[in-house]
Structure 1
Amino acid sequence: MRSFLQVVSALLLFLCLYGAGWAQDADKPYLKASDADMQWWEEARFGLFIHWGPVSIKGTEIGWSRGGERRGQGSGRGEIPVDVYDNLYKEFNPVEFNADEWVALAQEAGMKYLVFTSKHHDGFSMFDSQLTEYKITNSPFKRDVVKELADACHKAGLRVGFYYSPPDWHHPDYRTANHAKYIEYMHGQLREICTNYGQIDIIWFDGLGGTAQDWDSERLFKMIRELQPHVILNNRAGLPGDHDTPEQTIGRFQNDRPWESCITICRQWAWKPDDKMKSLEECLDTLVRCAGGDGNLLFNVGPMPTGAIEPRQVERLQEMGAWLRQYGESIYGTRGGPYMPGPWGASTSKGNRVYVHILDWPEEGLTLPPLPKKIVASSLLTGGVVTVTQAEDGVRMEVADADRKPIDTIVVLGLDGPAADIPPIKWPSGAVSEGKAATASNVYQAMSEYDASKAFDDNDATRWATDGGTHAAWLEVDLGAPATFSRAVIKEAFDRVQSFELQHKAGEAWETFARGTKIGERREMKFKPLTAQYLRLNILEATDGPTLWEFHVFK
């Protein structure tokens, strides 16, 4: 009886402490979209992001290439003087802009929604705001780009959203003693967007780490949802919003909260002449790994100053669309898993079907961990014959070389029950270094999502990154105890490393046991068996900040 009373007392205490919080959340439904409103977005998986403005005349980065003061971010290092940047709109006349063509391209690419930059950190409004003179309708172009895009999306049946930057380095009241006046301006502009352009499906904030208090976000969310009851809001206005937004990286496997990776087709968000563009393989790999991690991909293009999207970017998106027309059933409307993404690829599922996307065939063939449900059918969505063997210790898949696709071989497994019932399954790579304690000489902006551990988490969707301008760096791992290994695999992003060495610690000194020049997408190195506890990748030369997806050693 005493035990029962203790349980009841504990339960009452829990309700007293947290019940008020639950009631408060229930009283603020505007803080979160309903499951019904999120359904279309989670099924869409693929959207078009567009960064565009007068800065395209210069071919430099939007917002960030503006020199001068960046209140809230310190002083700017932008290469364009303020008086030049802020007057670019006076010569901006993109007469080749055609909203219908942009929307048609998004649909041809297989994208289900479009998000456009209505106002970036530079403060320039790409719509006919009545609250500022710094806007597109005061340029030689004189047309309201946001209106034309909204109308085109509505006409074509494409979901539409607008990026809006709470930071505004142009506005005189932003982060000054008069910041309250800026907040009213910002709320006023969002009221215009949510009032004047029909149904808006997404508002995509980019608050640069600002708090909810900085933007008066609770009041803002309430206003937006009153005007647009079914809108989806992201997590960049100091509130959790409806989804997470990993940037320029594929999000980790996460099936308990929606997420969307925003990633550029080239390197820069805004258009840049001759910017390095991702290959079709890189683009599809990114899309598949996002879907396999249970997330979306918001894929960015930057139109040219003429208003047209660069032909090579158009072609790349069309290629992605052609692939999706053949194999889109393995992406749209799926959930990530049950197999979590690994070096071999990723999986998605729908109903009783599992789609195994094999992006990189292991030399020894692919054997995945056991499935708790029976496989009753198997086939190759990409054409050909697959032999699937299910055993207690795993699921082996064999496909002849002739039937293996250069980008993605998709095996379809039919199960005797819903795949959604299966908890996420991780593929063990067998790396000696997986999950071990790691340190690095430099981490990009000291952000935890890019720290040294990301190179040893056996997840090709996360990465260790360093600050821009870094030309030498080291990455160390403590294996926990002396271990023997004879092979290393290093996977690099952006192909920046020019020279490196592998070292182990002998006493207090580091000794080099292997050297190399470029690493690239995947480099495997074999050497005589070595026993050590501490291992270092010492990058001697890089063209810019080195970034690694994974660094592992194997027996």
Structure 2
Amino acid sequence: MTKELIRYAAQIRPSERQLAVQELEFYAFIHFTVNTYTGKEWGMGDEDPSIFNPVEFDADQWVAACTSAGMKGLILTCKHHDGFCLWPSRYTEHSVKNSPWKNGTGDMVKEVSEACRRAGIKFGVYLSPWDRHEPTYGDSPRYNEHMLNQLTELLSNYGDIFCVWFDGACGEGPNGKRQQYDWDAYYARIRELQPNAAISVCGPDIRWCGNEAGHCRTSEWSVVPASLRDNEKIQEKSQQADDREFARRYQSDENDLGSRAVIQHERELVWYPAEVNTSIRPGWFYHDFEDDQVKSLDELLQVYYGSVGGNATFLLNLPPDRRGLIHENDVARLQELGDKLRETFRTNLAIGASAAATESSAGFDAGRLLDGNRDTFWAPEEGTEQAVVELDLQREQTFSHVVLQEYRYTQRIERFELEYKDGEHWKPLFEGTVVGHKRICRFHPVASRHIRLKITESRWQPQLAAFEIYSSIPSA
């Protein structure tokens, strides 16, 4: 690759709204609608609103379950494919206003958004473009106006929204026609009413990881081909024909989306970070027969370390039951997960350490790795793509986790190695590829006073903001 292309890739930057989501790291999905009462995953749109009656609904219980796990946000399925609205929309009768819940006076979106604010976590909305109930669906201009009206309600009446999450599902309408979504109009309305909200999956800000199983890539790049922004939209929007030179189209489920081998053929790169989404149970909506199928602590930790610890965010679905509560089994597992994470990352053993690098550019010395500030960073001179940083912990410490974070506005490290000093000899500890927002390196506990990071491949120059060390062994 040419130096010009490498420098271009290194200088791709995120927007503030993208950064805000990346720095949340771990947040909840709540799937709740008439499906909870019919046992379906995708409702048909012909459900009677009278079946919706979560008599014990408690938004604060939902949020408490989220915060116990360390989550910093919640995205509510305000309308799923069945078209049933969890708020009293003016633009349909298929909503909570015609249910027995609170005698038709309830507004679940309002209660959940307010509970999030009380607890100090962010609130986001999921609005399905596919609506199996709405009679105008498939009459594209009329339905697009309907969609904009409902977006306006959600973005105007419930305070700050951190994310608008769009699914890409597109089915046939009740009139036998297929809807052509006006994505540009949807995006414009969001930017007008909630300029700080990220638009996720079918949107330009946060991309889908490519699966719903919690599978995470070994190398997750935030800097990727611009064409990926269209992948989850309907086919008519996403295909780009008659472009032979760039006919190769990368799909969301491919393993490599941002290496040099990929980007060397691209004319345009964008910052488009990944979100890993999966459910705590097999289904996205609650089913009582899955009460004993809640993911284990080890399974959740595996996804957490692969996503949050691998330069992606983690969106974990929690399906409330028919009472309107997060089930006790799920609540217990979330508490267990939060306790484990808090125990592991309670004490940064690098506090009080000293840092030295093989080289540093003026004003970007290695001490900046240890100052706890994501806006300061260590960097060698421009054009220096390999370097070594060594930490002296001042005394021997036992540790099992290293957390690396690049400068907030860049992703450059392509490959690195960690080593620890055993007597007079350096021994291998961990090998990794990308770092990005956060890379959590896990290994069997070792005891040493010295640890070093060898950056063996990077773009233009590495810019590293944090080098933290933790032990998973409970303190005495």
TM-score, normalised with respect to structure 1: 0.52
**Aligned match of 2:115:** 152
Cα distance 1:173–1:93, how it changes in 2: closer, same or farther (>3 A)?
A: same
Deviations 1:271-326 (A, max 9, x none): 01121221111011110111232001100111111101110011001111111222
Superposition deviation, residue 380 in structure 1: 3.8
Superposition deviation, residue 110 in structure 1: 0.4
Q: Which amino acid aligns with 1:47?
A: Y
Deviations 1:28-87 (A, max 9, x none): xxxx99632333321221111110112212333243xx3xxxxxxxxxxxxxxx65xx11
**Aligned match of 1:234:** 200
Superposition deviation, residue 198 in structure 1: 0.9
CA distance in 1, matches of 2:449, 2:191: 41
- Among 8, 14, 17, the residue aligned to 1:37: 17
**Aligned match of 1:48:** 28
Over the aligned positions, Cα root-mean-square deviation in angstroms equals: 3.7
Which structure has the greater CA radius of gyration?
A: 1
Contact residue 276 and residue 307 of structure 2 kept, 8 A: yes
- Among 287, 299, 302, the residue aligned to 1:285: 302
Q: Which amino acid aligns with 2:165?
A: W
Deviations 1:93-141 (A, max 9, x none): 1011111121122111100110110011111111111100000121000
Matched, 1:249 2:214: yes
Deviations 1:496-549 (A, max 9, x none): xxxxxxxxxxxxxxxxxxxxxxxxxxxxxxxxxxxxxxxxxxxxxxxxxxxxxx
- Among 96, 100, 112, the residue aligned to 2:72: 112
Unaligned runs of 5+ in 1: 1-10, 12-31, 67-81, 332-349, 354-369, 398-406, 425-555
Deviations 1:338-360 (A, max 9, x none): xxxxxxxxxxxx9748xxxxxxx
Contact residue 45 and residue 297 of structure 1 kept, 8 A: yes
Superposition deviation, residue 422 in structure 1: 6.3
Q: Which amino acid aligns with 2:185?
A: R
SS of residue matched to 1:292: coil
Superposition deviation, residue 146 in structure 1: 0.5
- Among 41, 44, 59, the residue aligned to 1:61: 41
Cα distance 1:103–1:40, how it changes in 2: closer, same or farther (>3 A)?
A: same
Match runs of 1:540-551 below 5 Å = none
Cα distance 1:45–1:153, how it changes in 2: closer, same or farther (>3 A)?
A: same
Deviations 1:139-192 (A, max 9, x none): 0002111110011112221101011110111111212xx221111001110010
Cα distance 1:152–1:242, how it changes in 2: closer, same or farther (>3 A)?
A: same
Cα distance 1:392–1:381, how it changes in 2: closer, same or farther (>3 A)?
A: closer
**Aligned match of 2:84:** 124
Contact residue 54 and residue 305 of structure 1 kept, 8 A: no
- Among 242, 265, 268, the residue aligned to 2:280: 265
**Aligned match of 1:221:** 187
Structure with larger RCO (C-alpha < 8 A, sep 6+): 2
Q: 38-47 or 182-191: which moved more? A: 38-47
Contact residue 286 and residue 321 of structure 2 kept, 8 A: yes
Cα distance 1:224–1:281, how it changes in 2: closer, same or farther (>3 A)?
A: same
Superposition deviation, residue 408 in structure 1: 7.8
Superposition deviation, residue 409 in structure 1: 5.3
Cα distance 1:121–1:219, how it changes in 2: closer, same or farther (>3 A)?
A: same
- Among 155, 158, 166, the residue aligned to 1:197: 158
Match runs of 1:100-499 below 5 Å = 100-141=60-101, 142=104, 143-175=106-138, 178-208=139-169, 214-236=180-202, 239-246=203-210, 247-252=212-217, 253-256=219-222, 257-275=272-290, 276-328=293-345, 352=369, 372-377=388-393, 379-381=397-399, 388-389=420-421, 395-396=428-429, 423=458
Cα distance 1:110–1:326, how it changes in 2: closer, same or farther (>3 A)?
A: same
Superposition deviation, residue 270 in structure 1: 0.1
CA distance in 1, matches of 2:143, 2:346: 46
Superposition deviation, residue 418 in structure 1: 8.5
Q: How many residues get paired?
A: 323
